[in-house]
Structure 1
């Protein structure tokens, strides 16, 4: 296959890897915090955090344009700091993938931490362990399979992101043209050989990701 074939796949994997790294960190920390906190409005906050999971990708893309466009406060700040807008850049694709993948990581992390017996953590605190030590040496190991499953699902979701990326990052070959966008463009131009090759690659990668999640959950049951 030519570079025209490999470029969208390589770009999709790079973007998925970076966005998954972000949601793995943020989702784990926020999932841990929300699993152990009870406060007024918690249900509303959780609903907001999970909202990208059910919103149409085009709605997510629209909201990203509103929040990070040139005329927005955040967009203007980005232009002032980096001397260029974030829209139609590689980082715009990363941001779109991060937003849609985050709910999967957050939910998995939260459920993993909620499943931990608090008596184990309290016993460690009684023995003099700090909150950081409890988190690193008890909570993380006990919720490790849930965190890995969440990371895999987030990677698969980021890899397959289409609508929000197309609206917010555009279709720039070699820069923001991910595999899902390339498939859409290939079908539009009747380039079915490339479309089938990309579809087969995405199906194969996604299948392996989901198989990994099922194996992890099967070993955890």
Structure 2
């Protein structure tokens, strides 16, 4: 075993989780802001759909991603026509899978943060002539920053540990889509327990640090 063998899946996991996290954070903030403090017909159904990846088996998510982005779908064919290749079994597929499973954690946390913002302060800013974008960036976001930070950490942690949907949609290609959870699975399958233990230990340490960070942020509320 070389250091490269050990480090490559961890590096790939961090890269994929970081990009997927950014996507989930941006979408989560926008959707969370839209859903917070709003009441409309069908809100419960829409919110249930948004939170489904939290409870659906990863294999179901992977299956749905294959149906949506596979080469037999309109989306998949359009992507292949535009870029000359399908996205299945690529790093992009791994990013999409991780972003999908991480999104609900970001959305749920940040929506709760937005709902806790004092509406009277936002209304006072409107009376003073502030635009909705100014209110959002200079009042709502700063007042919900702890929820935003906690959600971002949880989102990254979930993307870092994604396994099932990634295996189905992106495959288990060393150096390309083989993240640390997939590498652990491969190491155990080949009875390389030393390497498996090293990866397991690294994931435990990373996850512990991330959860401690969330706890610290939440205590500051």
TM-score (norm 2): 0.98
Return the alpha-carbon distance in structure 2 between the equivalents of residues 200 and 158 of structure 1: 18
Aligned length: 220
Q: Does 1:215 align with 2:204?
A: no
Q: Which residue of 2 aligns with 1:46?
A: 47
Map 1:159-174 to 2 at 5 A: 159-174=160-175
2:62–2:169 contact (8 Å) kept in structure 1:
yes
2:146–2:220 contact (8 Å) kept in structure 1:
no
**What are the ranges of 5 or more consecutive residues in structure 1 without an aligned counterpart?**
none
**What are the ranges of 5 or more consecutive residues in structure 2 without an aligned counterpart?**
none
CA-CA distance at 1:218 after TM superposition? 1.0
Structure 1 residues 183-212: Cα deviation after superposition (integer angstroms, max 9, x where no partner): 000000010111000000000000000000
Map 1:63-212 to 2 at 5 A: 63-212=64-213
Structure 1 residues 114-145: Cα deviation after superposition (integer angstroms, max 9, x where no partner): 00110010000001100000000000000000
Return the alpha-carbon distance in structure 1 between the equivalents of residues 26 and 68 of structure 2: 23
CA RMSD after TM alignment: 0.6
Q: Once structures 1 and 2 are overlaid, which stretch shifts more, 89-98 or 27-36?
A: 27-36
CA-CA distance at 1:37 after TM superposition? 2.1
2:184–2:200 contact (8 Å) kept in structure 1:
yes
Describe the SS at the equivalent of 1:39: coil
TM-score (norm 1): 0.98
Describe the SS at the equivalent of 1:129: coil
Return the alpha-carbon distance in structure 1 between the equivalents of residues 128 and 210 of structure 2: 40
